[in-house]
Amino acid sequence: MSTTVETPKPAAARPRRPRPQVMTVTPAAAERVKALIDGRGKPTAGIRIGVRSKGCSGMSYTLEFADGQQPMDEVVETGGIKLLIDPKASLFLIGTEMDYAEEKLKSGFVFRNPNEKGRCGCGESFHV
């Protein structure tokens, strides 16, 4: 009498869901980033976004021109621009919307971050 042992078939791999972008960018912010890059006068890989320890609440957003992409950067391409997200900042920025606002006495980028637990009174820093 012979016994046959059936080897189980490997389960079909489930297709991966597309990974959502770390950040979204409003059309106003995209236009302002384009203007900044065009006015720079030299080629750039995009704008690097990060966070650093600063201010009375603990952290602040940083933006700078990026001359090149780093290997671990999270890349967000939208509205004709490229944002390079510092890998150390990704967890703090998930779900953030970047906007640009012009008011009578000030103008600048505005970050709407669902991870923020509070901001300082002057609006320069936040904490999660």
pLDDT per residue, tens digit, the chain (128 aa), is 566 666 666 666 777 776 677 889 999 999 999 999 999 888 888 999 988 876 665 778 889 999 988 889 999 898 889 999 999 888 888 889 999 998 888 888 988 888 776 665 555 656 56
Q: What pLDDT score was predicted for residue 16? A: 75
Look up the pTM and report it: 0.74
| Residues 112, 52, 119, 22, Cα dihedral to 10° | 20
Give the domains, in start order, of the chain with CATH numbers.
23-123 (2.60.300.12)
Q: What is the pLDDT of residue 64?
A: 93
Contacts of 120 (CB under 8 A, 6+ apart): 55, 56, 57, 126
Question: What is residue 47's predicted lDDT score, i.e. its pLDDT?
Answer: 92
Burial of 35 (0-12, 13-18, 19+ CB in 10 A): exposed
What sections of the chain are H helices per DSSP? Answer: 27-40, 90-93
